[in-house]
Amino acid sequence: MKSKTLELSLLLILLTTLACGRLFAQQGTACSGGIEFSFANPELVEWEGESYFSLDVMACSADSDRRLGTGIVLLNYNPEVFGYSVRTNNNVIVTQGDLVLREPFPFYYFIINDNTGTRLAITFEYLFSAGNGGLLSTTPQQLLNIKFKVIGTGHRAGISFEQNMMSGQQYWDDNATLFDPVVALDVENSLIPSLPLHLALTITGDVVFVSWDQVSGCTYSVYSAVDPLANEWQLEASGLTEPAWSQAVEEDKKFFRVTATGTQQ
């Protein structure tokens, strides 16, 4: 029993450095007219060993047969989480979404710049003739995916559109006719959770007790695996509000990890 306790505790603590919280996904709704931008699918992801906050920017239109031309997305963000001037400091990754991605030839060219120290400007230039641009629908489609490198945790993302500056900048694919109105009111304000630190594990009889430090504003999930290298983690509990969990365990060897999940505001 003693050797089992040490083995479980060791991997539990090592996995703490890899655990990152999932955020509640926010999905776009049907459009009301003109062109509307929204956010979807916020989550924390690992990219080349670093933690990033991934988010989709969506676009839609209630008007039929509207095709997207050149436009710009301006995003404000919280520097406590992402730092300042994310483009200049190489702390942001932008990829084209399904709405504008064309292969093998690109129909859109993306230009990414810092508009201010806490605002990112993403220009999408349409390069072809009218009638070939991305066809908008009443259901939001992915315009782009953006990944902000996480510099600090325990704060809210604070991501919002700068609607006033985006209005008058969104064109049909003739690159002459403007969308009107331009609606960009969505806000992504999920809490970027800190890692659950100081995990501890004890065994009393056949019951495993797991505890960790409280992470403000978060709920917790506990996962287990017989073989952690197989990447087959099973969810044991979710939505926990207290920094502790216990369960009877029959296996001779079992591994656990804990994630903190930030809430939206």
CATH (domain of 247): 2.60.40.10
Of 28-32, 89-93, 251-255, the range with the lowest mean pLDDT is 28-32
Say whether both 199 and 83 belong to one domain.
no
The tokens of 158 are what? Answer: 């604070």
Q: What's the pLDDT score for residue 172?
A: 96
Q: Which domain holds residue 245?
A: 2-20+193-262
Distance CA 186, CA 181 (A): 15
**Is there a domain that residue 171 lies in?**
yes
Say whether both 224 and 117 belong to one domain.
no
CA torsion through residues 77, 78, 82, 86, sign? positive
Residue 195 identity:
L
Q: What's the pLDDT score for residue 263?
A: 64
Q: Residue 192: how many CB atoms within 10 A of its CB?
A: 28
Say whether both 6 and 51 belong to one domain.
no
**Is there a domain that residue 102 lies in?**
yes
- Ramachandran angles phi, psi of 80, nearest 5°: -65, -25
pLDDT at 75 > cutoff 60: yes
In the chain, how many domains are there? Answer: 2
Say whether both 65 and 156 belong to one domain.
yes
Say whether both 167 and 83 belong to one domain.
yes
Say whether both 131 and 108 belong to one domain.
yes
Domain's final residue, options 191, 218, 248: 191
Mean pLDDT of 156-165: 97
Prediction pTM value:
0.75
Q: How far is CA 244 from CA 52, 104, 220, 262, in A?
A: 27, 52, 9, 17
Q: What's the pLDDT score for residue 42?
A: 92
Q: What's the pLDDT score for residue 30?
A: 61
Say whether both 173 and 237 belong to one domain.
no
Q: What's the pLDDT score for residue 11?
A: 40
Which one of 37-41, 64-68, 100-104, 201-205 scores highest in mean pLDDT? 37-41
Say whether both 52 and 121 belong to one domain.
yes
The average confidence (pLDDT) of the chain is: 85
Could you tell me which residues are beta bridge partners of residue 144? 57, 96
Write the pLDDT tens digit of every residue in 106-147.
999 999 999 999 999 999 999 999 999 999 999 999 999 999
Query: pLDDT over 70 for what percent of the chain?
Result: 86
Q: What's the pLDDT score for residue 8?
A: 39
The tokens of 230 are what? Answer: 């197989």
**Is there a domain that residue 28 lies in?**
no
Find, among 26, 46, 104, the residue nearest to 259 by Cα.
46
Spacing of C-alpha 125 from chain mean position: 25
Mean pLDDT of 240-249: 91
Domain's final residue, options 137, 171, 191: 191
Domain's final residue, options 191, 207, 229: 191
**Please, where are the H alpha helices in the chain?**
2-16, 79-82, 163-166
Distance CA 233, CA 256 (A): 9
Say whether both 56 and 70 belong to one domain.
yes
The tokens of 71 are what? Answer: 């436009």
Are 20 and 259 within 8 A, CB to CB? Answer: yes
pLDDT at 187 > cutoff 70: yes
